[in-house]
Amino acid sequence: MTDPMWLDPFCANSQAHSPAYKLAAFERTIENCRDLQRQYDDFIQFMEREGTTASAEADHERAEALLRQVETARDVLAGQALVVLADGLLERCAEILAIETAGRP
């Protein structure tokens, strides 16, 4: 089954959103990916330190659920990146930064 967020990563027609909204959503998604990856990594470390034979099955299921969340977030991020790139938003940001920082080291 295809995740609807992959097909439409802005939860509506991407043309209906402003460039500022798209960039802010992209930034939030990057942070969400980082947070989910950190949660997964922390849980794996916890399992290695604290895991027991009795908790192994539940720990494994929790780790798989966290990994699915990480993978879904990455899919959404990839979808948003395609929209942001296709809309030329990163190029516009680079142009603005070049103008704002002209002459500075």
> Does 9 fall in a domain?
no
In 3D space, the residue among 2, 31, 29, 34 whose CA is nearest the CA of residue 84 turns out to be 29
> Does 4 fall in a domain?
no
Report the greatest alpha carbon distance in the chain: 63
Domain coverage including residue 90 = 16-100
How far is Cα of residue 58 from the mean position of the Cα atoms in its chain? 26
- pLDDT score for 2: 41
- Distance of alpha carbon 44 from alpha carbon 100, whole angstroms: 43
- pLDDT score for 7: 44
Question: In total, how many domains does the chain have?
Answer: 1
Structure tokens at 72: 């879904």
> Does 78 fall in a domain?
yes
> Does 87 fall in a domain?
yes
- Express as a percent the part of the chain with pLDDT over 70: 86
> Does 105 fall in a domain?
no
> Does 3 fall in a domain?
no
Predicted confidence (pLDDT) per residue in 14-61, tens digit: 567 788 888 888 899 999 999 999 999 999 999 999 888 888 999 999
Half-sphere exposure of 44 (CA within 13 A, CB side): 10
Structure tokens at 30: 């990057």
> Does 60 fall in a domain?
yes
> Does 42 fall in a domain?
yes
pTM of the model: 0.74
- Distance of alpha carbon 97 from alpha carbon 45, whole angstroms: 40
